[in-house]
Structure 1
Amino acid sequence: MPSYTITCGSHTLALGQRTLIMGIVNVTPDSFSDGGRFFSPDRAIAQAVQLVEEGADILDIGGESTRPFSDPVGESEELDRVLPVIEGLAGPVAVPISIDTTKATVARQAVAAGAAMINDVSALRTDPEMATTAARCRVPIILMHMKGTPNTMQVKPVYEDLVSDIRSFLSDAMNRAVAAGVERSAIILDPGIGFGKTIGHNLQLIRDLDRFHELAAPLLAGPSRKMFIRHLLKDPSQSDMDPLSVEVARGTQAAVAAAAMKGVHIVRVHDVARTRATLAVVNAITSV
């Protein structure tokens, strides 16, 4: 695993010594993964604190669902969801906070409230001001591959060459960010497991994650509770599985382990406690 150092405000992340854990907090009423359990600020803050206690190295706070076929929310509504949570966490937690958003205004105000990283699942395509905002705020930015939008991404996604196409997309996104003033050393890349990919695409993507090291940037992977895991594990009579089921949790850990063995620097997950145990073993294996 290549080594990098990322500065997030007062925090410094050493990437490459072990796989770090980004804990997910969805402040949304319609998340596929938790059914809106943390929609209220108090519940979201309590969940975030628990994730840090369980071993999260980074917290990712999002106020807009990106589940398949979801619609976007307005800027003011997204701000109303995430700002109270970030403000409530900025002092008490000792890990960097990431704002999961595609909107530059939301990112800017979140950073002012205490966030120290931006996670843009659109890789700068939704808001042309996002790269400039990241540069001016002097925070790292995660650029993720997604084919289309959340509302359209799972409508028969097709690639000429899966890894080459995604790698080219991420390289272009990184170049646009640098051209806008973002330091190259402040960019993290996410190939976008589950975003505009079939089950076969996701399996191939995890198998070939090590090929993205050629882009010379830290890698993040987010397989947590995704549809391809649920599809592989469900009974033939089921249309889907409960994302909160024990079986899906086990399947997620298998995907986490596979991604970590391929050298990703950060895994983005809902279940930090299980992931910490999984990575303790994987990191021990890969460090021998």
Structure 2
Amino acid sequence: MHPADAIELLRTTKADPSRARTLQRGAADGHFVRVRHGVYVPAAAWAALDGRSRYLVRMRAAVPLLPIGAVFTRDSAAAVLNVPRLTSWPEHVHVTVPALDADRRRVGLTLHAGRRPAEAGRFHGVPVASLAETVVETSRRSSLSGAVVAVDHALRSGVQRRELEGMLDSGPDWGRVRVANALGVADERHESVGESFFAARCHELRAPYMEPQVQFVRPGGKTYRVDFWMPSLGLVLEFDGRQKYRDHGAVPGTADDVLWSEKLREDDIRADGDVRGFIRVTWWHLVDPERLRTLFRMHGVPCR
């Protein structure tokens, strides 16, 4: 069971005003957290949840307010489908209700008018929009980097590129350019959120073409696969997330063993005659494009 499903929801009722007062006092004392009007959760359980899980709890709390026929869409569908994002999860819940002729807004909840989307399943009895539709709709409202991260996730999950393109062509014009640009950058060979983020930043900086997941075969038949290869400059580019050094499953041993193994790997790749340089990029470089621009300039990579 997901932690967001396990946490207890404590609801007030008009039939029991004393319960409401007890929960309100508990929230004031720090024992409970109010997730929406009339709905509380134990503070200790809430503190243990990550941002996505907290958002899923807010969605659970809003379910009794939803009319029959409502479908979780946009950020809400993305949370259920575990679509990665670069920004923090919001508090506002989104559903689409085909029967409405105009959007309706309540505190923490928007009911959108619109056609009924294809469904990917249900969350606490409420249908959830498909992954393809969710990615296209959230990408319309996202930054380029956020859109590439979402589109790459969809492609890695088996959604066909032509399906995303078809939804874009048949949808509204607003946000179309952003999603089209994201589709141009996205590549299912990007193996992580960090690699997707990096590819988007490189596109924004107009860096030279990079090929993802290129293999180098060394004498003796040993093969290395690198995150990106920039053939015009002979540069290997690797995204170094902390998980690489924390997860010892791929390279057994201590953290020092992992670092030493990575050094030997880099030395062997550098020995390839086509390789003229090796650039390691971290999340720190990506959150501020000026840092990535400086790193590129230091290695002779032209960018804007």
TM superposition score normalised by structure 1: 0.28
**Which of the pair has more CA radius of gyration?**
2
User: Which has the bigger relative contact order, CA under 8 A and spacing at least 6?
Assistant: 1
